[in-house]
Amino acid sequence: MAFKFSGTNFQCWENFEFEANGLTVLVGDSNEGKSSLSRALKGLVRNELGAYFIRNGTKKMSVSLEIDGKTYTASRTKSGSTKYVVNPGEEKYESVGTDVPEPVQKLGLTEIRIGKDVFDPIFATQGDPQFLLQEKPAPLNAILGAFSSTEKLEGGKREAHSRTSRLNTEAAMLAEHLQQAEAMKAKLAALTERGGAIQAAIDTLTPVIERQEAVIAVLDVLITDRTRLNQIKALAERIVVPKTRHLEVGLQQVVWLQQATTLATKAKQLSGTLARLPVSDTLKLTAGAAKAHHLTVLIPARQKLETGTKWFARVETVIETWTAIVGQYKLVKALDEAHTRRSGTEAYAAKTYTEKLDSRLKAIRKGLGEIERLRQQGKAALELEQALQAAVKGQSEVTTLTQNLAATREREAAIAQELTTQREREYRLAHEITCPGCGEHFIPNEEGEHSHAISGNTTAGSQAGAGRRPVN
């Protein structure tokens, strides 16, 4: 049997290597290491490598035995236990304690146990008794009894051979199975590696995909909302809200304007009626009085008209602005409704938007019609102003006529007074006589007497005709 035995840092050996084939005898002087080699081999096969075997100045030792195509290596450090490796890289025994690994036991270099006695036929050291020859009777009898029968030995040999053959067959089958298992193991390892790579790829892509899906979803919402916000902002910038107070005042002026228009119409009708009447002082006086009466109504109306005309342009602007605002507000509402009702298609939203836009344009056209109506009312108001001017002019003429008539009447009264005075003078001249007593001119009374205011005496008629003088 050939074997190779080697070691590192064992006792005095830094390195040693020893090969043997068949019976081999070591010969050498004392302290050359013969016993050390024996202890190294025994330490390997019996797990008896103490820490004190480690070479001084080193921390780890190891010994190896190559036999029957296998290598058995034992190593240890000062503080650790012995570790075994069978065929480097294949089988490791790192926690064996004081046991001998099974592959090492199968080398057959163990002690022999017979009953309660233990014998070592492999290793003997200096000073040991010779094997069997110096055993005590009891153990010697036990050993000899165990091997006393040749038949028993032959039977044991046959049994051992049979067992060996069966075990070899089983080993061959197991080797084949092992080979198949190794092949399957290799395939599974390859598949596992592929599966791991696939899993890693999917694990890498999954968060990226989740993020991209989330980004797209948020972008959809953001684009929709920002588009709508831009539309609202654009409309908001275009809308200018006028002051409500101006609108209220303007609407009140419109009411006044309508009232003034009605009064102007009546004044115009009255002016026409007066123009058709025949002209005479009396009738003019009557018509003038009627005009004056109506003018007391018309003058306040004219004041309202003037104010209303001034406000009209402002009201028109306000109405126009608010009409536009109504249209814009409707457009905003249309956008809101289109956004709310959108069914996911831009075409639907566009159709709804167009319909609402048409509605807005219709509302604006209606507002423009209303403005045109108010403008016509304003035109009527202007005609009213012209009629009022004519009426005022007529009032002036009536006043002149009235003044002329009064002057004429005064003149007639003066003439009548003058005639009366003249007639009284003529009558006085015709009837006046001179008082013969006092020489005063007087007109005699029915009794023909003359009364003296100073003396209180009355002169007799004999004095009549005396002292007559012409009337001045």
Partner 1 sequence: MLGDQKLAEHKVQEAINKLIELGVEDAGKLTVEQLAALRDKTRADLITNLTAVQGQITEANQVLAEYDAIAAA
Contact 6/64 with Cβ under 8 angstroms?
A: yes
Closest CB to partner 1 among residues 364, 371: 364
Span near partner 1 by CB under 8 A; candidates 54-62, 225-233, 262-270, 397-405: 225-233
CB of 210 to partner 1, least distance (A): 10
Tell the residue number behind the tokens 């006043």, with chain if given.
399
Span near partner 1 by CB under 8 A; candidates 97-105, 113-121, 146-154, 203-211: 203-211
Closest CB to partner 1 among residues 205, 407: 205
Instruction: Please give the span between the terminal C-alpha atoms of the chain, in angstroms, as a whole number.
Output: 211
CB of 346 to partner 1, least distance (A): 13
128 binding partner 1? (CB under 8 A): no
Determine if residue 425 is left, alpha or beta; phi over 0 gives left, psi from -120 to 50 gives alpha, anything else beta: alpha
Closest CB to partner 1 among residues 48, 336: 336
Contact 365/323 with Cβ under 8 angstroms?
A: no
218 binding partner 1? (CB under 8 A): yes
189 binding partner 1? (CB under 8 A): no
Structure tokens at 234: 């654009």
Cα distance between residue 332 and residue 329, in whole Å: 5
Site string for partner 1, 136-175 (x = CB under 8 A): ----------------------------------------
Cα distance between residue 273 and residue 291, in whole Å: 11
Q: Can you tell me which of 195, 439, 461, 465 binds partner 1, judged by CB under 8 A?
A: 195
Contact 71/86 with Cβ under 8 angstroms?
A: yes
H helices present in 239-345, as ranges: 244-276, 281-341
Cα distance between residue 38 and residue 24, in whole Å: 13
What would the DSSP string read from start to end of 383-396?
HHHHHHHHHHHHHH
226 binding partner 1? (CB under 8 A): yes
Helix axes 346-431, 244-276, angle to 10 degrees: 40
221 binding partner 1? (CB under 8 A): yes
Contact 104/110 with Cβ under 8 angstroms?
A: no
Q: Can you tell me which of 20, 223, 313, 460 binds partner 1, judged by CB under 8 A?
A: 223
CA dihedral over 141, 147, 150, 156, signed as positive or negative: positive
350 binding partner 1? (CB under 8 A): no
Site string for partner 1, 307-336 (x = CB under 8 A): ----------------------x--x---x
Structure tokens at 133: 């020859």
Span near partner 1 by CB under 8 A; candidates 72-80, 166-174, 224-232, 265-273: 224-232
Q: Can you tell me which of 114, 222, 350, 466 binds partner 1, judged by CB under 8 A?
A: 222
Span near partner 1 by CB under 8 A; candidates 29-37, 222-230, 277-285, 457-465: 222-230
User: What residues make contact with partner 1 under the rule CB under 8 A?
Assistant: 184, 187-188, 191, 194-195, 198-199, 201-202, 205-206, 208-209, 211-216, 218-223, 225-230, 232-233, 235-236, 239, 329, 332, 336
